[in-house]
Structure 1
């Protein structure tokens, strides 16, 4: 069960709520930068938010979808269960043996 768009939106909101300095930065982006990219100010802001979210995930050694699950799961146990479920789906889609996949990504199985 990959993270849904609704979960991701909730995670982005929580991520931003926990980082007031990032909110200030995003609220004060230069509109000329958006215009130069052919984007609206809102599109440009959203892109910068996603970049900050992905950078945080990378900093934590997570995939962005893992950070989404971490920020939206009710408990640590829920997060771990959802995370393993998505990893299983990825291993299946990749046609990889589960134990080999776990070893490759350092997962307890």
Structure 2
């Protein structure tokens, strides 16, 4: 089961709560930059938050959905179980053999 929108929102909140410097930066964005992109300040801020979240996931060698699961799972074991479940869904949707998929993404079988 892929991460839900609610889980992602919880993960973004936790991510931001753990990074007060990012919150300050996002709270002080130049409104003219939002206007130049044809966005509201809130939309522009949300976009910057998502970019920071995705950059952190990439820095950790994770997909953004994996970081979402990591930040919202009750335990590390729960995270691993959810992560494998999603990877299995992805492999199935891609029509890939599970062992081949695990090898491709460096997953323990």
Q: What is the alpha-carbon distance in structure 1 between the residues aligned to residue 94 and residue 39 of structure 2?
A: 35
Q: What is the alpha-carbon distance in structure 1 between the residues aligned to residue 54 and residue 32 of structure 2?
A: 24
Q: Alpha-carbon deviation of 1:66?
A: 0.1
Q: Alpha-carbon deviation of 1:92?
A: 0.1
Q: Alpha-carbon deviation of 1:19?
A: 0.0
Q: What is the alpha-carbon distance in structure 1 between the residues aligned to residue 106 and residue 35 of structure 2?
A: 43
Q: Alpha-carbon deviation of 1:4?
A: 0.0
Indicate the SS of the match to 1:87. helix
Indicate the SS of the match to 2:2. coil
Runs of 4+ that moved beyond 6 A: none
Q: Alpha-carbon deviation of 1:34?
A: 0.1
Q: Alpha-carbon deviation of 1:8?
A: 0.0
Partner of 1:11: 11
Q: Alpha-carbon deviation of 1:50?
A: 0.1
Partner of 1:31: 31
Provide the TM-score with structure 2 as the length reference.
Answer: 1.00
Q: Which structure 1 segments of 5+ residues have no match?
A: none
Partner of 1:65: 65
Provide the TM-score with structure 1 as the length reference.
Answer: 1.00
Q: CA RMSD in A?
A: 0.1
Q: Alpha-carbon deviation of 1:16?
A: 0.0
Q: Alpha-carbon deviation of 1:47?
A: 0.1
User: Which whole-Å deviations, capped at 9, do the CAs of 1:60-90 have from their partners, x for residues lacking one?
Assistant: 0000000000000000000000000000000
Q: Alpha-carbon deviation of 1:17?
A: 0.0
Q: Alpha-carbon deviation of 1:105?
A: 0.2
